[in-house]
Chain A
Amino acid sequence: MQITELDVSIGERKLISELNLTIRGGESWGLLGKNGAGKTTLLHTLARLRPWQGGGIDLQGKPINQLDRREVALRIGLLFQEGLSLVTSTVLESAMLGRYPHQHSRLWDDQADVGVVKAALAEFKLLDLADRRIDTLSGGELQRLALARLVAQSPVLFLLDEPSNHLDIAHQLTGLLALRSRVMQDQATMLMATHDINLASRICDHVLLLKEDGAYEAGAAAQVLTENNLSSAYDCEIRRIDSDAGVFFTPVISNPTSERMP
């Protein structure tokens, strides 16, 4: 995806100013920034769910506003922050909806489509729950179902809005690593908005960090994820800790008495 001089604003507030970014196949990008920085807005704009105020967004050489809705959905998949709506259905039915851009108005279910969906469910360990009603699932299972539906959609660009929500610490890593390996295998791309800097540094090889007033930092994760950049972006002192388990970032609050409750 090629983003050129992109401007995104909500009303008077300029969230993103003259963003120039190229996202190539096989790359996984983290999208970081403090609350209100514009992560969700940017993801929705890239998925063509909202208009932008200047510049262009091209996918595989074509500007995305020249494609019709179905063509966009064949190439770009979006995981919403709010998760799935709890309309009555089974796990399998819900995951099958991801194939809609491929099926359109065909009445019967192609074996190939069913195969893709079942493989996606298996990847997120949901195949055993295929016939369960989704209102009986736990938060974590619902989140994995949302990810499975996205994988069933088989887009070229995965846009994820806080995919680690509701997932326990182990599932966060395994689920997202599974997604990343699929991305690398198919030469697809993923752009993942998250609050978890450490998750981003483990999963993503590139980072787009949104800062105040439309400013940003973009590039290889190791280069963007520095104490300076993060501290200025999150308005809070952030320190880097090197350990034999890896590199971690942690916030430091200057007033120690507010740190722990007695």
Chain B
Amino acid sequence: MIAFRQILLICTLALLAICAALFSLLSGSVELTLADLFRLPSATQSELATQIIFDIRLPRTASAFVVGSLLSLAGVIMQVLLRNPLADPYILGVSGGAAVGALSAILLGASSFWLSQGAFFGALFSILLVFFIANGLGRWSVIRLLLTGVVVSAGWGAVINILLTTSTENTVQSMLFWLMGDLSQSRVSPIHWSLLLAGLAGGLFLSRALNVLIQGDQQALALGVNVSALRFILYFAASVLTASAVIIAGSVGFVGLVIPHMLRMLGARDHRLLIPSAMLLGGSFLIVADSLARTLIAPQQLPVGVVTALIGVPTFIVILRKSISREA
């Protein structure tokens, strides 16, 4: 039901996103204050503050928001598609395929452009592979899709391990950073923002159908949902969203699994609310995680995937305990 409480949640999360962005713009090895930010419109191009904000921090903040948002939406979709609370965006092998593509590019000493291309083709290959294997086994069922994805994922894992163990020390460092999620090289373009908006619009359009689909296939069919068409759409949508996120920033873990659950435990079960909330919260979360990744052990950088786990695990446990005590 659209009610005051739901609108309040969205507004709170939007505010949180803005605060997270400000936090990100202000943190880093060079000290900047809010006053510096406010002076920006009148400052000149060559001033240090302008350069740092516009060339380094703003693009990175934007990337973090986009990736966090994409992964959270993909996580929500995966959890409905597979009807499994353990589902995360990477469960069907997309990130594995992208990783093999990207790592191969690193191994061949390619530039960051080819890194993205490698990731893109790897992801595309994996998406089609899982689809055709699952489809070829007969009618799509949730179990079949899940098993196919998990097996393909494991296959990619083996290849990744081969690549890691046969590389030199320097190469392995770059590979590991990519695998754990790294926003330092990423930039997002208007295409990514359009993808995000398309994801939001599509998600909201399908939100009621998702509410029904999660009840079970037979129930959903009886209530008028075209289950096979919807599952097809969800699979490709989640895959595209995940692939885009992985191409930008590597496989950032934890976000796609935990953000939807956190919101569900706080009561945002209805997908009309869950989808926009997850996108906002996921984006904010990754912005904050990335800011910490840049500053915790400065001048060294931590891979952002490490920070997401460090923050995410205790937060998740706290919320889990609160929801258990509320149930009891």
Contact = CB atoms under 8 A, between A and B. Distances in A.
Interface of A: 47, 49, 68-74, 77-78, 80, 84-85, 87-89, 92-93, 96-98, 100-101, 103-109, 114, 153
A89 B222 contact: no
Contact of A104 (B208, B214, B215): B208
A103 B221 contact: no
B211 interface: yes
B323 to A, nearest CB: 10
Nearest to A150: B222
B269 to A, nearest CB: 6
A85 B272 contact: no
B207 to A, nearest CB: 7
B35 interface: no
Contacts of A69: 221, 224-226
Given A85-B216, A114-B1, A107 B225 contact: no
A97 B264 CA distance: 18
A11 to B, nearest CB: 16
27 contacts: A49-B218, A49-B221, A49-B222, A68-B226, A69-B221, A69-B224, A69-B226, A70-B226, A71-B224, A72-B224, A73-B223, A74-B224, A77-B222, A80-B218, A80-B222, A85-B216, A92-B1, A96-B1, A97-B223, A100-B208, A100-B212, A101-B223, A101-B224, A104-B208, A105-B205, A107-B204, A114-B1
Which range contains the number of B residues in contact with the other chain? 20 to 34
B223 A100 contact: yes
A89 B218 CA distance: 18
A2 B301 CA distance: 72
B2 interface: yes
Contacts of A108: 2
Nearest to B270: A93
Nearest to B83: A87
Interface of B: 1-2, 204-209, 211-212, 214-216, 218-219, 221-226, 264, 269-270, 272
A87 B222 contact: no
Nearest to A70: B224
A131 B204 CA distance: 24
Nearest to A98: B223
Contacts of A93: 269-270
A107 B1 CA distance: 9
Contacts of B272: 107
B269 A88 contact: yes
Contact of B215 (A47, A74, A85): A85
Contact of A105 (B208, B222, B264, B270): B208
A104 B208 CA distance: 7
By CB atoms of chain A within 10 A, which of B206, B207, B219, B224 has the most?
Answer: B224
B46 to A, nearest CB: 48
A97 B212 contact: yes
Nearest to B227: A69
